């Protein structure tokens, strides 16, 4: 079988640009590439100047961590689909049906149909914060927001979901044995039942980077970067895996099947690779970031499914559009962007250069809206503080939530050892 073309095979700058150009401009990819648009920075371009950047990479879907009116207005009549979000800190308020309906009217209905809002993400990685109050409020908040959509006759075009960390898994070795944490099974089952009843997707944030960072001597870099490698075989299913992300996704599929849900739509709401990190952040380089995203987008463009779900399109949102200079944590947190704040590429993307765009200082540290202030009873449309530590929190959980990444590390190490 001919090896797929990857950056490693491109022996000249011209060939490399051609490879990356195909990745970003393959027509079949346009309908499926998503990008996370975070705003934890004080130097980002105005949303109007972001529109051509999004188009330059062929993205047709954006996930926001808020419902920023500036962004939603700027993308009106562009055809770009949006997931807007409600932060963890507002879950208790969203249990109130009247507050949920007011929020939906103000932050969703007001922009339809010009801006194509197709989903509302209620909370982020709630179940792995081990906060009983947040966990107890999550499903009721999702239900209230969905009820508001039904009342406003928007439920056929806008769905409701929430994003989870992979740390909700207790077992992932091998992927066919994937299972949820026992203490979360009841809650996860109720949420998945909600998805089945409302037709909404199950969202997962997945970062092979953290597995490599935690064990760079044991985890194959080619395996996590989608580079050519011999891969591993799941001894239970006999399925072959040549990259870690697919193993992670199929571990989630197995976990869902284990609680009786075999046909739930799984989407990857976040995945990416940092182009810069601290001295102890192995693998955080522009070259590795370029390989990860180039190869990932090539797979998205091919509409290639996972070994367990070969006929299912990958629904993936790359993290992230910009480097965000005010995110806390290690240096990697501020360097996941495909673009720098001035609109230049963080590393070669193989797309035509776009003139540097002016920054808008009104997008402050929280990405806050400078427009109309919402009523005191409603959450503001600005970026959720829960987003401040999305990726860094996932990284910290590596040490205490070995259920996914460390099982996969052991899986890979064993397979590679046997092959040698």
Active site residues: 125, 270
Cβ of 186: how many Cβ atoms within 10 Å? Answer: 11
Task: Report how far residue 241's alpha carbon sits from residue 362's, in angstroms, rounded to the nearest whole number.
Answer: 46
Residue the block writes with tokens 């009523």:
375
Token code pair at residue 297: 């987008």
């Amino acid at each position: 079988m001919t090896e797929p073309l990857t950056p490693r095979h491109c022996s000249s700058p011209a060939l490399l640009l051609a490879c990356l150009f195909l990745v970003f401009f393959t027509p079949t990819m346009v309908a499926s590439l998503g990008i996370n648009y975070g705003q934890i920075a004080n130097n980002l371009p105005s949303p109007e100047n972001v529109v051509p950047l999004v188009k330059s990479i062929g993205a047709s879907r954006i996930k926001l961590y808020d419902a920023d009116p500036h962004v939603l207005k700027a993308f009106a009549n562009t055809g770009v689909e949006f997931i807007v979000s409600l932060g963890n800190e507002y879950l208790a308020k969203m249990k109130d049906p009247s507050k949920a309906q007011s929020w939906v009217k103000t932050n969703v209905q007001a922009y339809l149909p010009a801006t194509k809002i197709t989903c509302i993400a209620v909370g982020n990685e709630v179940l792995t914060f081990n906060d009983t109050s947040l966990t107890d409020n999550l499903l009721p908040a999702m239900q209230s927001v969905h009820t508001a959509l039904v009342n406003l006759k928007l439920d056929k075009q806008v769905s409701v979901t929430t994003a989870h960390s992979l740390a909700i898994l207790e077992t992932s070795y091998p992927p066919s044995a994937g299972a949820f944490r026992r203490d979360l099974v009841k809650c996860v089952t109720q949420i998945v039942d909600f998805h089945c009843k409302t037709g909404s997707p199950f969202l997962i944030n997945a970062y092979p980077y953290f597995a490599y960072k935690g064990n760079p001597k044991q985890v194959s870099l080619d395996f996590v970067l989608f580079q050519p490698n011999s891969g591993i075989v799941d001894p239970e299913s006999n399925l072959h895996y040549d990259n870690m992300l697919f193993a992670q996704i199929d571990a989630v599929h197995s976990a869902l099947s284990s609680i009786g849900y075999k046909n739930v739509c799984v989407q990857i709401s976040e995945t990416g690779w940092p182009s810069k990190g601290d001295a102890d952040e192995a693998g955080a380089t522009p070259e590795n970031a370029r390989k990860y995203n180039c190869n990932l987008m090539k797979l998205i463009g091919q509409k290639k499914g996972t070994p367990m779900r070969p006929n299912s399109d990958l629904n993936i949102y790359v993290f992230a559009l910009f480097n965000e200079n005010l995110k806390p944590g290690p240096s990697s947190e501020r360097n996941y962007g495909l673009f720098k704040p001035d609109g230049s590429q963080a590393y070669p993307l193989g797309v035509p250069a776009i003139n540097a765009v002016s920054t808008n200082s009104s997008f402050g540290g929280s990405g806050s809206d400078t427009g109309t202030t919402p009523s005191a009873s409603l959450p503001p449309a600005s970026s959720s503080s829960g987003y401040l530590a999305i990726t860094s929190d996932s990284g910290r959980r590596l040490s205490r939530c070995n259920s996914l990444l460390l099982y996969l590390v052991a899986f890979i190490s064993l397979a590679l050892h046997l092959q040698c």
